Chain A
Amino acid sequence: MTLDAITLSVIEAGLQQVCDEMDLAFSRAAFSPVIAEANDRSDGIYSAVDGSLIAQGLGGLPVFVGVMQYSTARLIEMIADGRCLPPEEGDVYIVNDPYLGGTHLMDVRFAMPVWRGGRIWCWLSNTGHWPDIGGAVPGGFSASATAVEQEGLRLPPVKLFKRGRMDPEIHAIIASNIRVADQRIGDIRAQAAALEVGKERLTQLLDRYGDTIVEAAIAELRRRAAAQMRAQIAAMPGGIWRGEAIVDSDGVVDAPLTIALAVEKRGDGLVFDFSGSSAPCAGPMNSVLATTLSSVYLAVRHIFPDVPLSAGAFEPLTVTGYEGTFLDAKYPRPVSGCAAEVSQRIAEAVFSAMVKALPARVTAAPAGTSGNFGLGGFDPEAGRNFVMYQLSGGGYGGAIGQDGLTNGCSTIGISKSPPVEIMEQNFPVLYRRYALREGSGGAGTSRGGFGLSYELELLRGDARASFVMDHGRVGPQGAAGGADGAVNRVEVWRGGQRHVPPHLSKEQDIELAAGDRVRVDTPGGGGYGDPKKRDRAMVREDVRLGYYSAEDAERLFGPF
């Protein structure tokens, strides 16, 4: 069948619309702020044959780029070989097993087949980050787990909805294994309702254009997305570019983990070779393969944002050399740091290699940590337990002609951080400051953006603090002669004594009493180009606004 450019564009837009409306429905109806406000979720359409990505909502969290195609593929396999019950109309499977094409346990996936003419035409799937999934640490971000069982409840693909009705037994098992379970029913319904919205809109599309035409269009769109990616790659110079990124530690053993990457242009494809990276680690900074692949894809998409999100765009990208490294963790390796932190180091390794090939298109390294600070305890005034998270941004890398953004969101996220006033309404803490971190942007012809500096005090009761951050050992990398951004810093003041986590950016269960304080300084972005070549007027303006002291500016940028 031949399809004209118009029909293709029309169907492409139609598929995109289905996904965007699923994203919207999920967020608007969700209960957890992490989904409703922070949009830590994603929705997409997947092939009935092999689970490959057909289309994905543009409002989804970037870390989920392509990731659900792996979980859907595994589900299809497991149905075929009998490990999962065969689907019927109205069924919705739930799964969060990291080793079956997942991320961390908190990312819970739903998958629903769409039937046409008695057969499965495609799968709709979505992922939502649940605020808790059981395990040792409230919220799930363990800094020192040594096996996945410590990280929470692990669900193989099971039917949560059977013929349109929720199975109360499955729900009861889940509810009795997670914290604050009473509100999860709202998220579950929202997540399933989003798939229903998708089914309805997709059915309209199929009824209007016909199943065969849409199928042909999907195949053609995939071919063209691949062609578009290849066209971008073909325009790159030939060669091999090396990049590297360092994870501070795994949280258990105090030693850095290295991501070694060589990117090679082969014809009109790119090969990402991770051989030489560190071995699997004892603590939770392992990455499962699905997350490793997605991290490469999301970094590439940051570089080429115009290439459509479909499996075709990934075809020219080959990822190798991960076997036997911490980027391909197997059961029971703990993985709770993979989606939030290791993923961003993988992206940084990609940026640091690709900036050499495409200096006008790629930036110096961004802060690249989610800045996860968790605090759990008992609030005597409210008479209840609480669990609070502070996620924070950092500086972005400089680029040719443009300084980095200050306090940008993590590389893998798009979520807003909560207001201080809302945090203080809900938790027994008082922020002493919430400020731009002066001097943190890496010097360069274009400097990095600035990180954040905040300090808060526990007002009453007792609590335990946990940190899962990164870039404490080395700052985000500068490029083309630019300096690195400032490193992440954590300080805990207990009874007037300063405590710095031995692993710098990771520690679990630090006991706090009323009056104790936590101070976090997040990384600045890497600088781009020789700082001495920075426009002197811009250096003077940076000093006038207090971004750098005059002495620091002179030292970093030269006389001004």
Chain B
Amino acid sequence: MSENEADEAGAPAGGFGTTGPVMAGIDVGGTFTDLILVDGRASQGGRVTVAKTPTSIDNQAFGVIAALEQAGVEVADVDLIVHGTTTTTNAVLERRLAKTGLITTAGFRDVLELGRRTRPQPYGMTGSFVPVIPRDLRLEVAERMDARGRVLTPLDEDAVRGAVRRLLDAGCESLVIHFLHAYANPAHERRAAEIARELWPNDYVTVGSALLSEAREFERGVTAAVNASVQPILKRYVARLREELAARGYRRDFLVMNGNGGMISAAEVDREAAKTVMSGPSSGVMAAAYTGRRAGFPDLVTYDMGGTSTDVALIRNAEAAVSSEIEIEYAMPIHLPMVDVHTVGAGGGSIARVDAAGLIRVGPESAGARPGPICYGRGGTEPTITDANLLLGRLDPARLLSVGSPVSIETIRQAFADRIGVKTGLDPLAAAEAVLKIANLKMAGAIRMVSLARGHDPRDFALFAFGGAGPLHASALARELGIPRLLVPARPGITNALGCVVADLRHDFVRTLNRPVPALDEAEIAAVLAAQQEAGLAAIAREAAQPARIRTVRSADMQFVGQTHLIRVALPDGPVTRDLLQGLFEKAYFARFRVSLPEIRANLVNLNTSVIGEREALDLSALIDPAGRAARLDGALRTRRPVWFAGWRDTPVYIREKLPLDAVIEGPAILEQLDATTVLEPGDVARSDRDGNLIVEVGHILEAGS
């Protein structure tokens, strides 16, 4: 069993099933730090407060504190803080890593640099790759196991001592021990770690097979190397934040969102620091799963569009898809169970250009935050998706341009005329419309490839739109994808922070059996699953916070004998027999590929168990203050303005926070709120549910070329 768990608690008591009622979810994103505070004290009656502050780049803790201050809450009154962070993500992507050394099997120190013989793109014979650990800090020692875990060369313990001293002398703060075939027999890795720990001045010793017990030396090695090299950074950050919070009277331990969509005590998070590299995106997906479950939409495609990129994930039966094969950038695999979020390189800042063939291209170049779209007035000159939304009235020109920007709508119109119109013969409005259409098409294609194209029927799903720009494009995207409805949550712009407030405790276990189904021992299956569940329950018992309920999710990774790809099959409660496995797999395989292969045997590769500690249900209806809602739809109408839907249409603009819960809104309409703008296309019909989500029935598919 790959025991990915910490050994002991040691954290002060805190929690959420059993503790006080004031909870704060804080998500630190690339640009903003978002906070959502749920005050369950009797005096406050579940009041929800949100705050948004600029992310403090050098030390994210300051932005967190600023967000708490903006929310107007005494930190000492907060019972539980749950935190999503991009500290480790940024450290890896920018290679601002702790100095880390590697001790590995003689003959194999370059594995981390050689990778799997790839290049970053199919065409273009260039590329560069910076290994996580530089070559001079990768040392070899004599030792060797064979593929079945038999010792071929005993461990040279003196060599280990020598290597440890050399790496210490070189100034390393973290250490990785990574030996060939350690997944089959970890004895050498463990002994080397023992020796290292006698000499190493801190806890930052990562043992490859302890983190990930699977074959594939490059992937396991990179996972371990990333873990070791972000460990001190995460630990320092957690300590700083803890100090800042303590100085303001917060006495408990806080929780950190892990990439698997579960929370873990801050005191324990750095042991498996690599799991936090997907902390931010996974919290948004967890919020979507939670919201969808309450709203009666258990099957979702999540769509989080921001300024430079778009994150997409698939949720089935209110469970986020989890993958153990995430690659966070070129040749940077992290093979730990993490929410399967795919990033598409299109966002509000994506630049539109006309190529040499006279075709309009949107992206991959992005104006980013600096200079940003033209409308930001920071020197951007090339038209972007955001500028197109503005020109077409989908975003409020008055509002966006009022931020002290010297840019006029005329400047934007002129940019579309000069840069798109001249070469295509389109007038500026048609050019802006074309940019949106092409951007939507491109996003829809990318979303299909990572979600629906894997054998799902779009009609079974709802599109969950969040992020600043998600609800702006969602209706048009849903048409492209053939998804019949949208779910726009009450607070689209702070969904990640909401994820921190609603996420569960979670511990994942993977056990590799790799045997044909007819050769399986049913008693062994039962024993493995039982042991996994037991280990998960024990791990949750050690957590600082105790859940309201515990549930267990079991699955099997299967394939036909001879295949390399895996299909994950959900296992029902009750005994797992060979016949059950065979049947479930054949059904899943046919559903995905429409191929049945009675000639070939099925193979069980992994048994997986996730033990999930659920928290008390959070009432989402307070996300928008019910007292602020108008009695009638008219009361929510802010203004009317012309918006371009293949022609100008006089379009009502509503204040989302004031919409009556029983209102039915027919598109075209614009719904504005503090953190997002939702566009209802002509033909759309939107209703609210009791949590204040918008459920949009998407109108008919647009005609070609119009």
Contact = CB atoms under 8 A, between A and B. Distances in A.
Given A225-B357, A408-B127, A411-B125, A33 B564 contact: yes
A196 interface: yes
A433 B105 CA distance: 9
A10 B706 CA distance: 11
A301 B123 contact: yes
Interface stretch (B66-74, B247-255, B434-442): B434-442
Interface in B431-454: 433-434, 437-438, 441-442, 445, 448-449, 453-454
9 interchain residue pairs of minimum CB distance: A393-B117, A433-B107, A228-B357, A224-B357, A416-B116, A7-B705, A305-B123, A209-B704, A231-B356
A183 B425 CA distance: 55
Contacts of A62: 122-123
Contacts of B701: 208
Nearest to A14: B441
A538 interface: no
A406 interface: yes
Interface stretch (A22-30, A140-148, A269-277, A529-537): A22-30
Nearest to A433: B107
Interface in A411-454: 411, 414-417, 419-422, 424-425, 430-436, 452
Interface stretch (B10-18, B593-601, B632-640): B593-601
A420 B180 contact: yes
A349 B135 CA distance: 34
A14 B106 CA distance: 51
Interface of A: 3-10, 12-14, 16-17, 20-21, 24-25, 27-31, 33, 36-37, 58-59, 62, 182-183, 185-186, 189-190, 193, 196, 208-210, 213, 224-225, 227-228, 231-232, 298, 301-302, 305-306, 308, 351, 363, 366, 391-393, 396-397, 399, 402-409, 411, 414-417, 419-422, 424-425, 430-436, 452, 455, 544-547
Pick the most buried of B118, B123, B136, B152: most chain A CB atoms within 10 A of its CB.
Answer: B123
B147 A209 contact: no
A414 B122 contact: yes
Interface stretch (B210-218, B521-529, B538-546, B574-582): B210-218
Contacts of A10: 437-438, 441, 704-705
B127 A183 contact: no
Nearest to A210: B704
B196 to A, nearest CB: 23
26 contacts: A5-B358, A6-B437, A9-B359, A9-B434, A29-B595, A31-B563, A37-B564, A62-B122, A186-B562, A189-B595, A208-B704, A213-B705, A227-B358, A351-B125, A396-B126, A397-B125, A405-B127, A414-B118, A414-B119, A419-B218, A420-B180, A425-B215, A435-B107, A435-B109, A436-B113, A546-B135
Nearest to B113: A436
Contact of A28 (B122, B125, B593): B593
A558 B448 CA distance: 54
Given A13-B445, A406-B114, A421-B181, 17 more contacts: A5-B360, A21-B448, A21-B453, A33-B564, A62-B122, A182-B600, A302-B123, A408-B118, A414-B119, A416-B116, A420-B217, A421-B147, A422-B215, A430-B146, A430-B152, A433-B107, A545-B135
Interface in B78-132: 106-111, 113-119, 121-129
A171 to B, nearest CB: 11
B132 to A, nearest CB: 14
Pick the most buried of A189, A403, A404: most chain B CB atoms within 10 A of its CB.
Answer: A189
A408 B594 contact: no
Contacts of A225: 357
A226 to B, nearest CB: 9
Contacts of A547: 135
Contacts of A421: 147, 180-181, 183, 215-217
Nearest to B704: A209
Nearest to A366: B125
Contact of B136 (A186, A404, A417, A544): A544
B426 A24 contact: no
Given A9-B434, A193-B593, A424 B445 contact: no
Interface of B: 106-111, 113-119, 121-129, 134-136, 144, 146-147, 152, 180-181, 183, 215-219, 355-360, 424-426, 430, 433-434, 437-438, 441-442, 445, 448-449, 453-454, 560-565, 592-595, 597, 599-600, 701, 704-705
Contacts of B116: 416-417, 419
A228 B355 CA distance: 8
A402 B454 CA distance: 38
A111 to B, nearest CB: 19
A416 B118 CA distance: 6
A397 B594 CA distance: 44
B167 to A, nearest CB: 15
A17 B448 contact: yes
Given A58-B122, A186-B597, A305-B123, A6 B562 contact: no
Given A5-B426, A13-B438, A407-B117, A183 B594 contact: no
B600 A183 contact: yes
A430 B107 CA distance: 12
Contacts of B144: 430
A235 to B, nearest CB: 9
Contacts of B561: 183
Contacts of B430: 6
A425 B147 contact: yes
A13 to B, nearest CB: 5
A5 B216 contact: no
Contacts of B106: 433
Given A29-B595, A36-B565, A409-B119, A227 B357 contact: yes
Contacts of A24: 449, 453-454
B125 A419 contact: no
A374 to B, nearest CB: 17
A551 B424 CA distance: 59
